[in-house]
Amino acid sequence: MAWKIDNEKCLRCGACVSVCPELALELKETGIVHDAKKCTLCGICEKVCPVRAIEVKK
């Protein structure tokens, strides 16, 4: 079980944040911040990412 982001690919657009039902993601100046305690690994963020920088494994 894991949520992973490739920070080299990520362009910090926040598309993933906008669809996260748990508000487990936030867009900060430094990049996407993931809260593992809130994340349910639903994978919606992975699907919306325009560059597929996110990988979710259940």
Partner 1 sequence: MIKDSYDVVVAGAGPGGSSVSKTLAELGFSVLMVEKRQEIGAPKRCGEGLTMNTVDIIGEIPQECIRQKIDGATLYAPNGNHVLVDLGAEGGYIVERKAFDKWLAVRASRAGATVVAHAEVTDVIKEGSQVTGVRILVGGGEEKTVRAKVVVAADGVESTVSRKAGLNTTNKLVNVDSGYQYEMSNLKLETSKRIILYFGNDIAPRGYLWIFPKGPDIANVGIGTAMSEKPAKWYLDKFIKDHPEIFGQSSIIEANSGGIPVGGFLENMVLDGFLVVGDAAHQVNPIHGGGMKEATIAGEMAAKVIAKAIEKGDVSASVLSEYNEMWWKERGSKLKKVEKLREVVEKLSDSDFNMISESLTSDVAIGLTRGGKMYSLAKILMKNPRLVKLARHLI
Q: How far is the CB of 57 from partner 1 (least distance, A)?
A: 17
* Window 12-41: residues binding partner 1 (CB under 8 A): 12-21, 23, 26-29
Rounded Cα distance, 45 and 38, in Å: 14
Q: How far is the CB of 51 from partner 1 (least distance, A)?
A: 5
Burial class (CB in 10 A: 0-12, 13-18, 19+), 58: exposed
Rounded Cα distance, 11 and 28, in Å: 12
Does 4 bind partner 1 (CB under 8 A)? Our answer is no
The residue ranges that bind partner 1 (CB under 8 A) are 11-21, 23, 26-29, 44, 47-52
